[in-house]
Amino acid sequence: MKNIQEAIKELLSSAINQLYQLDWNPTQIVIESTSNDFEGDYTYVVFPLLKISKKGPEQTANEIADFLRKDTSVIASIQVVKGFINLTVQSAYWTNFTSLHAQNLHFGFANHNSKENVLVEYSSPNTNKPLHLGHIRNNLLGYSVIQILKANGYQVKSCNLINDRGIHICKSMYAWLQQGNGETPASANLKGDHLVGKYYVAFEKQHRLEKEALIQSGIDEETAAKQTKSMLEAQELLRKWEAGDEDTLAVWKKMNAWVYEGFNATYNQLGVTFDQYYYESETYLLGKELVEEGVQNGVFFQKENGSVWVDLTADGLDQKLLLRADGTSVYITQDMGTAALKYNDFKYDKSIYVVGNEQDYHFKVLQLILSKMNKPYANGIYHLSYGMVELPEGKMKSREGTVVDADDLMQDMFDNAKQITTDLGKTAGLGIDEQNTLFQTIGLGALKYYLLKVDPKKKMMFNPKESIDFQGNTGPFIQYTHARIKSVLRNAKDSAFSFDSSKVELSLFEKNMVKGLHLFPSILDEAARDLSPGVICNYCYDLAKLFNQLYHEHSILKEVNDEQRKFRLELCVFTAQVLQRAGALLGIQMPERM
């Protein structure tokens, strides 16, 4: 069955070509949904045609409308309002569409692996602290983008680059060696990532006190920050690590193992997974080899102190450090190595990095460097830049211990969901295990929806209390709508809902419901094109609102007309299916009961 927009574009293309002797194909035609203030389903605006028609907008619109009225197979009626042609689709199209797709489990999804090969890197945490609210946005965004791309037919793999080396790791190591007294996650009764994060904060406190003492002695702040005992000792640990010192490596491996165990528990609760893990401790050496290659080829240059740089001033940027004078690498070094390794492993057409907008400059530099080195994967690099998550009290700071911990946040969401759901009486008839599953589903659904509904490019303010609300643009509202539909279907006496389309008369609310479902494929396409789960979120909200309008305006189970009742039940099946599949793209489960 041909998509109605495509059919209308073909009719318009034929009309325009014959009236004005043109050769326009349907892809050149743009139609929009008709405004609620006017009658019609779709609108075509004729103003771009006026130079060709050499007539006024209303006359041009009437000419095209008269031509279209010759074919009534698709269009039921046409209204011209100045330069706007408002087209009303035959009701039979909507009922036939429902009959054809209501039970189609693949509706809206493209053929599997029918498009290019895409690799998505997301999460990419440092092993000096637990995951926090900012990481949650990253993880949810990366996971959802992967599901959306897969739904659109792309061949997608995911990877996680663990930043497991560098000065930040050595800070936690130094503090643990100085203050830890052999403390372990078991002895402290803490998740491993929480324990290591505790020592990162401890380092920063010690460093700050030492810095203030140096400033008081007359040393300027910038120099003091580099000359504290704790900072010099941490840098020495980094030097020893890169030199392969066995004792340093043993501490590093032990503390990282604690962190990985903690990360995995958080990932499991969030519901995110990865096809491949990369580790900076392994990829930075490959990056250093690429730097040497660039020096030999004249792409990079070496200063007298031994440091290696790339000059990007001709490209509107600046000079970028690639290797320090002591031979230690920087972030860009390991990213060069990782990019090469990922391409060797996956031969991707496009490599998407889900990283905060604070790194916009970094990825411009990375792509430019690889282009100058004539690497075949340079043009495929794409930075999916997203805004930071802030709290009502301001920006989070890991080194000061003012972050919202991911594990604590998910527990808070569970507790809030439990309280609100219980207070609203939505747990009747459920056992304890079923209730806990429901609280988890609602709590995580609220969290994921709240973080994903905002355009990735925008920074956002997180307010947990607003996220769990059974009214408004929230995850729980959509989940409750799905559960309401499932309740209707459980109570239906009919075992099969097939209906006779010729005996169904569409009301405004039924038609709007079908039109909303009809949008799903184009919504999936838009979400993939923009790499924006927010497009899916807002669609789910609109669809849920349409169903609730239908539910309140029409009886479903008590409708006396058999065909009309079966049609509405089929709409229930269709809507629940689309909400469930759209929710899955966001990592959100839709409960059967609430």
Per-residue model confidence (pLDDT) at position 32: 93
Q: Which residues contact 122 (CB under 8 A, 6 or more apart)?
A: 138, 139, 141, 142, 143, 145, 158, 160, 354
Nearest to 234 by CA among 162, 163, 175: 175
- Encoded tokens for 76: 């039921």
Instruction: Name the residue with tokens 């043109």.
Output: 22
Domains identified in the chain and CATH numbers:
4-89 (3.30.1360.70), 122-400 (3.40.50.620), 406-585 (1.10.730.10)
Running DSSP on this structure, what letter comes out for residue 244? T
Write out pLDDT tens, residues 271-329: 999 999 999 998 888 999 999 999 999 999 999 999 999 999 999 999 999 998 988 78
Per-residue model confidence (pLDDT) at position 161: 96
Q: Please state, in angstroms and rounded to a whole number, the distance separating the CA atoms of residues 444 and 39.
A: 41
Task: Average the pLDDT over 398-422 and give the result.
Answer: 80
Coil vs helix vs strand at 45: strand
Q: Please state, in angstroms and rounded to a whole number, the distance separating the CA atoms of residues 470 and 398.
A: 33
Q: Please state, in angstroms and rounded to a whole number, the distance separating the CA atoms of residues 229 and 426.
A: 58
Q: Which residues contact 143 (CB under 8 A, 6 or more apart)?
A: 122, 158, 270, 271, 272, 273, 587
Cross-strand partners of 121: 159, 353
Task: Average the pLDDT over 497-521 and give the result.
Answer: 93
Given a cut of 70, is residue 3 above it in pLDDT?
A: yes
Coil vs helix vs strand at 484: helix
pLDDT band at residue 399 under the 50/70/90 scheme: very low
Given a cut of 70, is residue 73 above it in pLDDT?
A: yes
- Encoded tokens for 415: 């507790």
Instruction: Name the residue with tokens 């440091």.
Output: 307
Per-residue model confidence (pLDDT) at position 139: 97
Per-residue model confidence (pLDDT) at position 477: 95
Write out pLDDT tens, residues 536-570: 999 999 999 999 999 999 999 999 999 999 999 99
Query: For the chain, what is the radius of gyration of the CA atoms?
Result: 29
The CB density around residue 225, as the number of other CB atoms within 10 Å, is 16
**Between 381 and 134, the higher pLDDT residue:** 381
Nearest to 284 by CA among 323, 231, 235, 245: 323
Q: Which residues contact 216 (CB under 8 A, 6 or more apart)?
A: none
Q: E strands along 424-557, which residues?
A: 460-461
**Between 165 and 441, the higher pLDDT residue:** 441
Per-residue model confidence (pLDDT) at position 304: 92
Per-residue model confidence (pLDDT) at position 547: 98
From residue 129, give the alpha-carbon distance in Å to each of 73, 232, 251, 451, 581.
64, 21, 16, 21, 34
